[in-house]
Chain A
Amino acid sequence: MSPASAPYLSIVLTGRNDNYGGDFNERLFRALAFNTAKLADQGIHHEVVFVEWAPVPRQPYLSDLLTTAFPELARTSLVCYIVDRCYQDVLSLNPKIQYLEFFAKNVGIRRAMGRFVLSTNTDVFLGQSIVETLAGGRLETGTVYRAPRFDLKLGIDQSHITWDVLDDERNHVRRSTLTPPLYSGATGDFVLLDRESFHDVRGFNEVYRLARLGVDYNFLIKAYGSGLRIADIGGPVYHIDHIGSYRLSKAIYRDRLAEAPWGDRRWHSSVASYNNPEGWGLAAAREVEIGPRRFRIDFDWSAVPPLVELRRVVLAVRRVGRADIKA
Chain B
Amino acid sequence: MPSIKSALTRALALFGLAPAGSVRSLFERAEKAEARAGEFKSQVVELRSETQRHKARAEELQQQLKSALADVERHRARASEVTSAIEKWRAKGEQIRGKVAGTAQTVQVAQEHLMATETKLDLLEAAINLLDRRTRTDVPVPPPAPSEAGQES
Q: Restricting to A179-225, which residues have a CB under 8 Å from any CB of B? A: 207-210
Q: How far is the CB of B83 from chain A (nearest CB, A)?
A: 37
Q: Quick check: is A231 within 8 A (CB to CB) of the other chain?
A: no
Chain A 89-132, CB within 8 Å of chain B: the 1/0 string?
A: 00001110000000000000000000000000000000000000
Q: How far is the CB of B127 from chain A (nearest CB, A)?
A: 5
Cβ-defined contact, A315 with B116, below 8 A: yes
Q: Which residues of the other chain, A, contact B112 by a CB distance below 8 angstroms?
A: 271, 315-316, 327
Q: Quick check: is B130 within 8 A (CB to CB) of the other chain?
A: yes
Q: Which residues of the other chain, A, contact B130 by a CB distance below 8 angstroms?
A: 93, 95, 307
Cβ-defined contact, B123 with A93, below 8 A: yes
Q: Which residues of the other chain, B, contact A93 by a CB distance below 8 angstroms?
A: 123, 126-127, 130
Q: Restricting to B86-141, which residues have a CB under 8 Å from any CB of A? A: 111-113, 115-116, 118-120, 122-124, 126-127, 130-131, 133
Cβ-defined contact, A210 with B126, below 8 A: yes
Q: Which residues of the other chain, A, contact B126 by a CB distance below 8 angstroms?
A: 93-94, 209-210
Chain A 265-276, CB within 8 Å of chain B: the 1/0 string?
A: 001100110000
Q: Quick check: is A73 within 8 A (CB to CB) of the other chain?
A: no
Q: A95-B133, A272-B119 are in contact. Are A308 and B111 (CB under 8 A)?
A: no
Q: How far is the CB of B19 from chain A (nearest CB, A)?
A: 121
Give Cα A315–Cα B110 distance, bound, in whole angstroms.
Answer: 11
Q: Which residues of the other chain, A, contact B123 by a CB distance below 8 angstroms?
A: 93, 207-208, 210, 308, 310, 313
Q: Which residues of the other chain, A, contact B111 by a CB distance below 8 angstroms?
A: 327
Q: Restricting to A269-310, which residues have a CB under 8 Å from any CB of B? A: 271-272, 307-308, 310
Q: Which residues of the other chain, A, contact B113 by a CB distance below 8 angstroms?
A: 315
Q: How far is the CB of A187 from chain B (nearest CB, A)?
A: 19
Chain B binding surface SS class: helix
Number of A positions contacting B (CB below 8 A): 19
User: Most B CB atoms within 10 A — which of A94, A207, A272?
Assistant: A272
Give Cα A207–Cα B123 distance, bound, in whole angstroms.
Answer: 9
Q: Quick check: is A37 within 8 A (CB to CB) of the other chain?
A: no
Give Cα A4–Cα B119 distance, bound, in whole angstroms.
Answer: 44
Q: How far is the CB of B116 from chain A (nearest CB, A)?
A: 5
Q: Quick check: is A314 within 8 A (CB to CB) of the other chain?
A: yes
Chain B 60-103, CB within 8 Å of chain A: the 1/0 string?
A: 00000000000000000000000000000000000000000000
Q: How far is the CB of B67 from chain A (nearest CB, A)?
A: 61
Closest to A311 in B: B120
Closest to B113 in A: A315
Closest to B120 in A: A310
Q: Restricting to B42-70, which residues have a CB under 8 Å from any CB of A? A: none
B positions within 8 Å CB-CB of A: 111-113, 115-116, 118-120, 122-124, 126-127, 130-131, 133
- 22 residue pairs bridging A and B, Cβ less than 8 Å apart: A93-B126, A94-B126, A95-B130, A207-B123, A208-B119, A208-B122, A208-B123, A209-B126, A210-B122, A268-B115, A271-B112, A271-B119, A272-B115, A272-B116, A308-B123, A308-B124, A308-B127, A310-B120, A310-B124, A313-B120, A316-B112, A327-B111
Knowing that A307-B130, A315-B113, A315-B116 touch, tell me 10 more A-B residue pairs with CB under 8 angstroms.
A93-B130, A207-B123, A208-B123, A267-B119, A267-B122, A268-B119, A271-B116, A308-B123, A310-B124, A313-B119
Top 4 A-B pairs ranked by shortest CB distance? A93-B126, A268-B115, A272-B119, A271-B115
A positions within 8 Å CB-CB of B: 93-95, 207-210, 267-268, 271-272, 307-308, 310, 313-316, 327
